[in-house]
Structure 1
Amino acid sequence: MDLTNILKAVKEGKMDLETAEQQVCSLGFVSYSNIAKLDSHRKSRTGVIEAILADCKEPEDVVEIARIMARESKRALITRVSAPHLEALMRAFGPEKLEWNSRARTVVIHDGTPAPSTGGVVGVISAGTADIPAAEEARVIASEMGCETVAVYDVGVAGIHRLIPELHKLKLRNPGAIVVAAGREGTLPTIVSGLVDVPVIGLPVSTGYGAGGGGKAALLSMLQSCSTLAVVNIDAGFVAGAYAARIANMIAAAAGTQGETEEAEQDEEQGEK
């Protein structure tokens, strides 16, 4: 029962105040056993979807949490999915309701309908092929948040000439934000940020090795970026994708509002004539 129906029930005398208080306090989350409280209102409250992090969870718990989330939100997104998690999800939901991205290690449970489109556009770039898993996680999250995503992979600084034509094509799609994933020295996000007029999110990836490996050098390099750059944590594809999608969706919403205002002004002018 949502807040409107609770208030209506109190007004009509069908619910007492104590029960109404309990109902209001439980709004926005659904409990599973004593281990999880699903934030079912997170998207409407913040614009960011809730995802199930499969890491450190038992496969059967992931299945039940996904079942509740799919029931409440029509879709369920699971990240960092291992083979045992995937097997359990396949058995529970079947392949027709399950979308598996092996690079991103994500699963989307759905009823066959696509995620609602917001009109936002997010670009996702990877420096190397080894950086694609983190980039793909960001792309999946942005897509689930309603954005069109444009992927450009393996255009790192070892062959920077590969970047320019791909970046030109990406800019023609008018992205609201761009995620750039890079490991090793993590230079590419800084370069991209100096070539575009939209927000760039640096996503350091743990593909480097030796001194400064595991993404540490990439992270520190991005934090010291000369060009304007926002940076997330190492391998934080979810955060990068969600942040980019929030920006892109706000831009799309503002553009839609502006278009409606212009149409209203034109109608008003025609009426005056």
Structure 2
Amino acid sequence: MRDTLEALDAGEIGVSEAESRLAGYATTAAGRFDAARERRRGIPEAILAEGKTPAEVAALTTTAVETTGRALVTRADADDAAAVRTAFTAGPDADDELSAAVDHDERTRTVVVHGDEFTPPSLDATVAVVAAGTADAAVAGEAAIVAREIGATVDRVDDVGVANLDRILDQRDRIAEADVVVVAAGREGALSTVVAGLVDAPVIALPVSTGYGVGGEGVAALQGALQSCSVLTAVNVDAGFVAGAQAGLIARAVDAARRD
């Protein structure tokens, strides 16, 4: 505690970082940012943009970079991304301006910000993120970005839906090399069951809200995963962050085992 107070007094850290060190979170007008989540859970805190104004998203993103060196924003639109870019390129004055790299992926609706001094984590583990079709790529991409931010090497395998089994069978060996597999599939969601029957790695089914009619909007895909005759786990519909985070935690355990 004394070291933190002395650093604050010396101007080496700001109030937000001092608060995050002492309380585990930093308070902003937009809410409290959980700066200790990665240390506590191994998962970086994510800022959900939905339900927040662009100004609130930008404020939380700035606090995230100040306290942890980076920020991960999910479900962001173009206005959210623009507000974040502005926060890191046009501060009120030169002394307050933060320097960071901002990466907005429109398809996955994510914004990733790395401060200039941030060193991304690196794990000796691979996560395969498999998407049934192009329509499933956005949710699969969110999972991939989260797993990558945790430190895993990510291998994307796209457009291998079960409408033509040859498409998944000719990627079987590649997928089998991964330490954990996330399978994003909409409609009936059969791909996760097929993949779980082909590889010996843990498989996480990520139902996607593609499809229509009875069982549409991801309902059939989720129910199929829950009823799967292959051994797998399932997350909620379109829950790319959760699937990516779970895969990242498994990757962390694999990395720790290999280091031992």
2:75 and 2:191 mapped to 1: Cα distance? Answer: 25
String of CA shifts for 1:127-165, please: whole Å, max 9, x gaps.
Answer: 111000000000000000011000000000011101122
Q: How many residues align?
A: 238
2:130 and 2:71 mapped to 1: Cα distance? Answer: 25
Mapped pair 1:180 → 2:176? no
String of CA shifts for 1:36-80, please: whole Å, max 9, x gaps.
Answer: 111111111111110000001000010010000001111100000
Question: Which residue number in structure 1 is paired with residue 202 of structure 2?
Answer: 199
Give the TM-score of the pair, scaled to structure 1: 0.82
Within-5 A mapping of 1:33-44: 33=29, 35-44=30-39
Question: Which residue number in structure 2 is paired with residue 84 of structure 1?
Answer: 79
1:25 and 1:75 mapped to 2: Cα distance? Answer: 16
1:181 and 1:211 mapped to 2: Cα distance? Answer: 20
Q: Secondary structure at the match of 1:185?
A: coil
1:162 and 1:251 mapped to 2: Cα distance? Answer: 28
Question: Which residue number in structure 1 is paired with residue 224 of structure 2?
Answer: 221
1:88 is displaced (CA, Å) by 1.2
1:5 is displaced (CA, Å) by 4.1
Higher helix share: 1
1:217 and 1:26 mapped to 2: Cα distance? Answer: 46
Question: Which residue number in structure 1 is paired with residue 145 of structure 2?
Answer: 140
Distance 1:24 1:52, change over 3 A: closer
Mapped pair 1:100 → 2:104? yes
1:227 is displaced (CA, Å) by 0.5
1:120 is displaced (CA, Å) by 2.2
CA contact (8 A) 2:100 2:113 kept: no
String of CA shifts for 1:211-247, please: whole Å, max 9, x gaps.
Answer: 1110001100110000001000000000000001100
Q: Determine which of 214, 217, 236 is the counterpart of 1:233.
A: 236
**Structure 2 residue runs without a partner (length 5+):** 7-18, 90-98
Within-5 A mapping of 1:251-270: 251-257=254-260
Mapped pair 1:211 → 2:214? yes
Q: Determine which of 54, 64, 85 is the counterpart of 2:59.
A: 64
1:48 and 1:149 mapped to 2: Cα distance? Answer: 16
String of CA shifts for 1:70-113, please: whole Å, max 9, x gaps.
Answer: 01111100000112111212222249721111221101111245
Moved more, 162-171 or 152-161: 162-171
Give the TM-score of the pair, scaled to structure 2: 0.86
Aligned residue identity for 2:129: V
Within-5 A mapping of 1:23-62: 27-33=23-29, 35-62=30-57
What value does the CA root-mean-square deviation take over the aligned residues? 2.1
Q: Secondary structure at the match of 2:198?
A: coil
**Structure 1 residue runs without a partner (length 5+):** 10-22, 258-273
String of CA shifts for 1:243-272, please: whole Å, max 9, x gaps.
Answer: 011001101111111xxxxxxxxxxxxxxx
String of CA shifts for 1:141-191, please: whole Å, max 9, x gaps.
Answer: 00000110000000000111011222212323xx22100000000000001
1:185 and 1:24 mapped to 2: Cα distance? Answer: 44
Within-5 A mapping of 1:104-123: 104-112=108-116, 115-123=120-128
Aligned residue identity for 1:111: G
Aligned residue identity for 1:65: L
